[in-house]
Amino acid sequence: MSSPIPRAPLAERIEELLAPGGPLPIVAAGDPVLRTGTERYDGQLEPALLARFVEALRTTMHAAPGVGLAAPQVGVELRIAVIEDPAPVPQEMRLVRGRVPQPFRVLVNPSYEAAGPARAAFFEGCLSVPGYQAVVARHAEVRLTGSDEHGRPLDEVFGGWPARIVQHETDHLDGVLYLDRAEPRSLCANQAVLERWTQPTAEEAARALGFELP
């Protein structure tokens, strides 16, 4: 039996990934890198390479477009993610969903815990599961800990839509996709969501499709 081919060092693989320039290819569901979890970041990359990788994640997130992107989504098993949300939504939706603008942030070694008992359920999508959305019940408020790309500690409570974003991206770092937490009967093609379920809440979809909300 042949031995497995050893992988190139992480820094070398990231250099190769960044070499073409521009947005990085996004890994789709079915690739093991999205399921195997990540390695804690502990200085594996030189500062200049880390900065280039973070900027590539940001460029890729904007190009997709999305409001968050985790390193495994570009094939890198490091515990790093980026988020940014200009929240370009109608006022009613902003109020109901708590979707407020979020500046660009880098999350290094993040983890979260519920900051209260409340849960909220809304349609959610993922750049690694293109074409579909499903309703996911998540903590309405979470405490996120970790650090930024400069090693400065992060300990902050997020609520509303920002709480959903940080849970979604941190889950990616644990090998969890949003579909693992979704209500199966709510799964919709993007076109169906646009045609039927653009209401600020998921209540009408729950009645029509036969699932319960928290």
Q: Model confidence at 7, in pLDDT bands (50, 70, 90)?
A: low
Task: Give the integer Cα–Cα distance in Å for 75 and 73.
Answer: 6
More confident residue, 4 or 130: 130
When pLDDT is averaged across residues 100-122 and rounded to a whole number, the result is 97
Q: Is pLDDT above 50 for 2?
A: no
Between the alpha carbon of residue 3 and those of residues 7, 10, 32, 36, 77, the distances in Å are: 12, 20, 19, 21, 22
- How does residue 6 score in pLDDT terms, banded at 50, 70 and 90? low
**Stretch 100-109: mean pLDDT:** 97
Which pLDDT belongs to residue 8?
Answer: 76
Domain extents in the chain: 22-120+137-175
Per-residue pLDDT reduced to its tens digit, 137-187: 999 999 999 999 999 999 999 999 999 999 999 999 999 999 999 999 999
- Helices 47-63 and 10-18: angle between axes, nearest 10 degrees: 50
pLDDT of residue 198 exceeding 90, the answer is yes
- For residue 124, give the amino acid letter: E
Question: Exposed, middle or buried by CB within 10 Å (0-12, 13-18, 19+), for 37?
Answer: middle
pLDDT tens, 113-123?
Answer: 999 999 999 99
CB of 70 within 8 A of CB of 54? no
Active site residues: 169
Determine whether the annotation assigns residue 139 to a binding site.
no
Q: What is the DSSP letter of 175?
A: T
| Amino acid, single-letter form, for residue 42 | D
pLDDT tens, position by position, 174-190: 999 999 999 999 999 99
Are 106 and 125 in contact by the 8 Å Cβ rule? The answer is: no
168 is in an annotated binding site: yes
Specify the CATH architecture of the domain 22-120+137-175: Alpha-Beta Complex (3.90)
Number of other CB atoms surrounding residue 147 within 10 Å: 16
Distances (CA, A) of 141 to 28, 60, 117, 119, 127: 28, 27, 8, 8, 23
The tokens for 116 are: 């209260």
Structure confidence by residue, pLDDT tens digits, 33-81: 999 999 999 999 999 999 999 999 999 999 999 999 999 999 999 999 9
User: Which residues, including other chains, have CB under 8 Å from residue 193's CB and lie 6 or more apart?
Assistant: 123, 133
Between CA 35 and CA 39 the distance in angstroms is 13
pLDDT average, residue stretch 103-112: 98
Chain length of the chain: 214
The pair of three-digit structure tokens given for residue 177, joined into one six-digit string: 């996709």
DSSP 137: E
- Report the first-to-last Cα separation within the chain, whole angstroms: 51
**Cβ atoms of 52 and 22 closer than 8 Å:** no
The mean per-residue pLDDT over the stretch 107-128 comes to 98
